[in-house]
Structure formats: structure tokens, C-alpha cells
Amino acid sequence: MTRHHSSTSFALSRRQLLAGIGAGSFALAVGTGGRLALAQELADKAADAASLFEPNAFIRIDTDGQVTVVSSYLEMGQGTFTGLATLAADELDADPAQVRVEAAPADASRYTNPFLASIGFAVQGTGGSSAMAGAWNQMRQAAAGARAMLLSAAARDWDVDAAELSVEAGRIRHAASGREDGFGAFVATATTLTVPRQVTVKDPSEFRLIGGHFPRVDVPAKVNGSAIYTQDIKLDNMLVAVIAHPPRLWSTVRSVDAAAALEIPGVQYVVEVPAGAAYQGGVAVLARNTWVAAQGRDALDIDWDESLGLTTSTAQIFERYRALAEQPGNVSVEKGTILDKVPEGGHVIEATFEQPFLAHAAMEPMNCVVHIREDGVEVWNGEQWHTADQGAIAAAMGIEPGQVTINQLYAGGSFGRRANPFSDYVLEALAIARAAREQGHTGPVKMVWLREDDTQALQYRPATVHKVRLVLRSDGEIGSLQWRAVGQSFFPVPEGGTDALLVEGASDFAYRTGALLVDQHLANDQRLPVQWMRSVGHTHTNVVGETIIDEAARLVGRDAYEYRYDLLSDHPRQQATLKLAADKAGWGTPLAPGADGDRRARGIAVRESFGTVVAQVAELTLHADGSYTVDRVVCAVDCGYAINPDIVKAQMEGGIGFGLSFLRQEITLEDGQIQQSNFHDYPVLRMNAMPVTEVHIVPSGEAPTGVGEPGVPPIGPAVLNALAALIGSYARTLPLGDSVSLT
């Protein structure tokens, strides 16, 4: 049976079909110039294809029939490799078992992320929960083009009409003649064919794999220890570097006595590393292995010059933020007239929220392998910000980006950390490698941050103070909302400018509101580099927005779910997702009672982020001593067409766990020194605190949106709202800690 032609067809540009990577690869790919071509030929031609804003979806099929899907995105746990494989395999009608995924090199000419480019970051990078949204059309088009060419090749080889051919599980069949063969058999002929100008992708009704269960491509290697992360790289003549950062931030090295370190067998070099704009530098010890390097680092006797060191404390930062929150800021959005007076029969909520700095604490601490050679630099890294890091290295070395080769690896988590806007840890690794090279080390250098180094090396989710004033009319409608955010911007903005990410979720406040005024103060003068973390501004704005709306419902005597539903009248997707979560959670029905002295309640929250809507209902038990347990979370998600439903669920589960950690975490500074160092004082959620989770996907035929981040924002406020249902007041300051005061 031939494939139905759907109405969805796309004109393909030459670049869109451009494909192929892999030095010395015998494999063939859908290439430029209308022919399948050798990888090197493609790579050469790719160099002329100049576009920074369109990605290329890559497919390669070899004579054994193996399909290689090239991912320009990092696999850090979010399942993108599998998503790409699913799209390609379905469109090709391949057998999932014949598909493999390969990481793309860093190459801005071919792999710039279109979504990130559209919001001002023209890099090849992974972020904004954008991979599957971007790949939805491009990967399917690339695969459909490849399939069409294989069919043409089979028709030619067998001298039959292509329309009489069918494809199933990677085999092409001609029913009338009974002929059948795998993709690999047609590669040779396909190389001689012209790329079709127009390809047709499947209608969703024809999907065989998309929307079903496609086993994760990375799982087999992740259950037997064979998956390779940066931490696992060992190269010939490689040394491991462990660095001493200044205990008081931004202090510099006055002198170092390295004698004791150099006496340790296996220690080879001790190098001073000057600070960069976003990394601290210090003194690094290079040794044959990590343990010896760490021993050497600890044996250093460093005299730090603290004259430039930071003396700030978090308490001072918050004090300053609170003061700024009293002053009008730079306006992000203003519509309607703010009500100064509370209308007759109405209410007002005035509240100030404080949320701390947070460390990403990925399971794999930051690290990077750098080899400086005569002709360029080679890097081995789990790269989330590929071409930005490539460009930063090139700039630091005074070479061309093309001279910086990046070997992409799995990342042991990242949560945004490996997409540092300033390439901090990558540049520190480079600086160490340069210093070692000056001393005569010609081999690669693996910089390893131990957990303490990772926790204390800045780049935190910024701390914020939010001040809100919400005026309710007597009929329960929101008369006006004033919302002021104070904090550092996630990304540098010009003096006097505003940061859209700092107020995302506030400036687009979804609830029906008479008037809205959102302004902000940026405290970017602090020498505390910060960066995005999984779900970015929503990590803090949703705590504010979803608890004040809950409080508003309470003040006007409405049910927390029904009130939200009503005020979301302009956002039917949010309404539907909220309803699904509420229905599945049994919202409004009594909860099973807890043990003696326990009190139980539900809390609800919703948030659209990165185009995906997530609603969550948390069931909470408050124990007599003030400690609390989140027992169960029911989650509903609308992410458009769910390419891999099981991965969608996994990302919601993971987002819930990640967001629950916020209830107990904070990074604090005392006199310029970070107070936390490892998991004993920077707690993360553990098995015994993980709630039972239940994820429901809203059926949708819309184009997919991302799921890596949107599971995070609702959980914090859902828990705080459940708590408020029991104790009558809303927490405004995080972390909450292990227990709440009941007096």
C-alpha cells in the first residue's frame, strides 16, 4: 500500500535537505546539490551554506540500512535524542531498531536553534524547551525527503512504478512482484538521484510511532554504566585539573606555596589561573588522576589578596532589594488604570515575596576536557550552548570558531547550567589548559569541579524580591494588579533596560485583570554572575502569581479551582488543563484522613510556560510538629501533540521533583563567602520525599511544545496553597524548610 498524501506539504530549501557529518564516514546522507553524497563532501558544501537562522535536520542511511539521526541538541536527560529518532523513524517508516542518534558537531552554519534565534540568541544550543517544537517540521521533512528518494531508487532498480511501493519497518516492498529489500540496498542508486523539490509529511492519522511507545535510545547504555559523560573521558597524555577557587569571592592570588602539593606523587603542574569575567580562577593542580589532583589542591598554601574580594551577605542583598521594591521601577507592561483605592466591598492583597539564590546542582558537577593544539582547540563536553562556547573559546584564543572542535557527550543533568551565557566553566578549563601548556604540558586537560567547587562557583538562579498589590472588586473580579520584581537579569541587558525573563509569567499574567502594571529593578551591579535554571523566570514568578490568585479566591469566598477556571476565560487551553488535573485529582471530594494529629489538604496551581500548559494538584499532609509531606501530585499537561507520551510523563515527574527541592534549598552569602558546599547543606529531594505522581496528557493535535521545563513552575505554589488551606496564611519567603511554625 502506498502512503496517503496528506495536505501538508512543504517546499524544501536546499539547505533544509543538507545533511551529513562524520569524518571518514562511509555512510551516505541526503545531501546538497540534489544527490546523496559522502559525508566529507557534505561537510565541505555545508561550509558554503550560509544561514544562521535555519536549522538542518540530518538523516544518514548507510548500506547496512542503518539510519543515523543527527541531533544538534544536547541529551541531558530530557529525552530529545529519542524524540528526534521517533520523528525520523516514523516518517521514514523505519524500524526503531535500525535508527541511531548521533550528536552534531558545533556548527553555527547548520545547527543554529531557530527558537533561540527568534528570542535573540542565535546559537546552536539546547534550551527554552524548544527542541521538539523545532524538529517537528524539519526532522519530518528531512526524513520524508530521504524516504521519497529511497522509493525512487527502488522503483528504478526494480523497474517498477514508485507508486506501487510500500514501506514498513525499514523494508521496501513491491506487492505485485513480491520483491522486498531493506533501505541499505537502495543507497547506491539513491545517491544518483535528485532531491525532490516538494515533500509531503504524514498526516497524524498515519503515524505509526509518533504518539506511541518508542523506547529511549539512551536507556540501554544508562543501565549498564557504558554511557559516556565528560567526567568519563580519559585521553592519551591527559591530566586532570582540580582548582582552588578563592574562598572569598573574587579574591586574587597574592602568592602560592606549591611545595607540598608538588611532592605528592602524580602531581605534575601547579598553575595560577587568572579570573575571567564570569569565572574565578585561582590555582589549579594538574595530576595523573582526579584524586591526586584533589590532594594536591588541598595541599596548596595560598595567600589570597582579598582587597578586591566580595564582602556582601545575602541579608544585605535582600535588604537592598526590599528597599528597591518600594520604589517605582522600569515598566515592563502597563495596561489599564491601577486602582489606588479598594472599591466598596472589595479586598486588597499586599505582599512581598522573597526567594533565594539557587544552585543547579546537576548530578554531574561541571567539568570540561580541553586540548589546545597548534592548529586549534578540541573540546569534549556535554555542550548545551555549543556555538556560544565555541565562539568564546575562539575569541579567547584569537582563532576562528571553525578551529574549535567540540565533541558532544551526554550530560549528567544540567538544568540550564551547561548553557552558561558567559561560557564560565568552559573558559576556566581553557585557562587552565593554557597555563599548563605554557609550562610544557602538550596533552589534553580535564578540569573537574568537585561538588564543593560546583556548589560555590556562582551562576545561580538569581534571588528576587517581588512586591504585589492586587485589588479585588466586590464581585470578585480583579480590579488591578501591580507587580514589581527586583533581582538580577538572567542575561545582560543595557543600563536602564528591562529583562523579559525576570517577569515572565507576570507580564503575561493569564487571569482576567482590569489593569496590570509590571515593573522591575535590576541589580546587575553586583559581582555575582547568575544564569537561567530550568523554567527560568517561572521558577519564582509562579510562586507569586499562583499563591496570590489562591488567596484572592479565599478572600472572595470562591473555590480555588473554580475561581481560576473562571478568570482564565481568555485561555481555554489553561482552563482545559486545569480541569483535567482537578477532575483526576478528585478536587472537591474529601481526602482520606491522615494519622492521628495529621491534617491534610489539596492545593492547585497552573502555568503556561514555553508554550506548554501544566496544572498540578498537590496533596499535602501537615503533621502535628509542623513538618509536612507531599503525598501525591496529579499533573495535567498540554504540550500539543505528544511525540513520546512516556517521555512527557517522565519530564513532568522530574519537574515535580526538581521544583519540590526549592522548598528546602537556598544559597547564601556571608561576608563574601558562599555558605553551602555539598548535599549535606544544599539538600535535594530524595526518594523518601518523592510524592506519588500521576500525569495526564491533554489530547491535542497541535504542533508539539516542549516538556523539559514546564513541569517545574506549578508544584511549589500548589504545595504552598495546600499548606495555606490548613494554616490559613500563605508563605511568602522561600525556602520553607522542613517544617512550618504552627503557633
Partner 1 sequence: MIDLTINGRAVQFDGDPEMPLLWFLRDEAGMTGTKFGCGIAMCGACTVQVDGEPVRSCQTPVGSVTGQDITTIEAAEQDRIGAALQAAWVENQVPQCGYCQSGQIMQAMALLAETIEPTDADIDAAMSGNICRCATYSRIRAAIHRAAETLRA
The mark string for 651-690 relative to partner 1 (x by CB under 8 A, - otherwise) is x-xxxxxx-x-----------------xxx---xxxxx-x
- CA distance linking residue 615 with residue 695, whole number of Å: 10
Q: Report d(CA 383, CA 419) in Å as an integer.
A: 7
CA distance 533 to 548: 23
Q: Tell me the backbone φ, ψ of residue 429, rounded to 5 degrees.
A: -60, -40
**Contact between 616 and 633 (Cβ < 8 Å):** yes
Q: Count residues near partner 1 (CB under 8 A).
A: 64
When CB distances are held under 5 to 8 angstroms depending on the partner's kind, the choice from ligand FES, partner 1, none that residue 289 binds is partner 1
Nearest to ligand FES of 77, 714 (CB atom) = 77
Partner that binds at residue 741, options ligand FES, partner 1, none, CB closer than 5 to 8 Å by kind? none
Give the whole-angstrom CA distance, residue 412 versus residue 77: 7
Q: N- to C-terminal Cα distance for the chain? A: 73
Grid cell of 459 as nine digits: 551562576
Of 158-166, 180-188, 355-363, 502-510, the window that binds partner 1 (rule: CB under 8 A) is 355-363
Task: Please report how close the Cβ of residue 453 comes to ligand FES at its closest, in angstroms.
Answer: 14
Side-chain half-sphere of 64: how many Cα atoms within 13 Å?
Answer: 8
Among partner 1, ligand FES, none, what binds residue 225 when CB lies within 5 to 8 Å by partner kind? Answer: partner 1
**DSSP symbol at 511:** S
Asked if 629 interacts with partner 1 (CB under 8 A), we say: no
The answer to whether 59 and 88 are in contact (CB under 8 A) is yes
CA–chain centroid gap for 468, Å, is 29
Residue 237 sits in the site that holds partner 1 (CB under 8 A): no
Taking CB under 8 A as the binding criterion, the range among 97-105, 165-173, 184-192, 213-221 that sits at the site for partner 1 is: 213-221
User: Min. distance of Cβ 383 from partner 1 in angstroms?
Assistant: 14
Give me the amino acid identity at 170: G
- Cβ 390 to partner 1 shortest distance, Å: 23
CB 507 within 8 A of CB 484: no
Q: Which is nearer to ligand FES, 127 or 365 (CB)?
A: 365
Cα separation, 616 vs 618, whole angstroms: 6
Which run of H or of E encompasses 383?
A: none
Closest CA relative to residue 705, chosen from 119, 8, 131:
131
Residues binding ligand FES (CB under 6 A): 77, 363, 413
> Which is closer to partner 1, CB of 21 or CB of 239?
239
Q: Output helix, strand, coil percentages for the chain, rounded to the nearest 5.
A: 30, 25, 45
Q: By the 8 A CB rule, do 183 and 170 touch?
A: yes
* Radius of gyration of the chain, Cα coordinates, nearest whole angstrom: 28
Question: CB of residue 711 vs ligand FES: minimum separation in angstroms?
Answer: 15
Please, what is the minimum distance in Å from the beta carbon of residue 86 to partner 1?
Answer: 13
Say if residues 81 and 71 touch (Cβ distance below 8 Å).
yes
216 touching partner 1, by CB under 8 A: yes
Cβ-based nearer residue to ligand FES, 638 or 653? 653
Q: Site map for partner 1, 468-507, x if CB under 8 A? A: ----------------------------------------
Query: Tell me, what amino acid is at 508?
Result: D
- Reading the block at residue 142, the C-alpha cell is 528531512
The yes or no reply on residue 77 touching partner 1 (CB under 8 A) is yes
Sign of CA dihedral 311, 316, 321, 324: negative
Q: How far is the CB of 544 from partner 1 (least distance, A)?
A: 24
Q: Which of 159, 178, 205, 224 binds partner 1 (CB under 8 A)?
A: 224
Q: What is the 3-state secondary structure (H, E, C) of 30-64?
A: ECHHHCEEEHHHHHHHHCCCCCCCCCCCEEEECCC
Q: How far is the CB of 562 from partner 1 (least distance, A)?
A: 30
Give the SS3 label for residue 279. Answer: coil
Partner interacting with residue 216 (select from partner 1, ligand FES, none; CB below 5-8 Å by kind): partner 1
Residues 287-306, one symbol each (x = binds partner 1 by CB under 8 A, - = not), give -xxxxx--------------
CB of 419 to partner 1, least distance (A): 15
Q: Does 218 bind partner 1 (CB under 8 A)?
A: yes
When CB distances are held under 5 to 8 angstroms depending on the partner's kind, the choice from partner 1, ligand FES, none that residue 685 binds is partner 1
Q: Are 426 and 417 in contact (CB under 8 A)?
A: no
* Cα separation, 165 vs 728, whole angstroms: 68
| Of residues 231 and 526, the one with the C-beta less far from ligand FES | 231
Least Å from the CB of residue 126 to ligand FES: 16
Choice between 219 and 742, CB closer to partner 1? 219
Between 80 and 355, name the residue whose CB sits nearer to ligand FES: 80
Residues near partner 1 (CB under 8 A) are 76-79, 215-216, 218-229, 231-232, 234, 240, 265-266, 288-292, 361-365, 410-415, 450-451, 646-647, 650-651, 653-658, 660, 678-680, 684-688, 690, 692-693
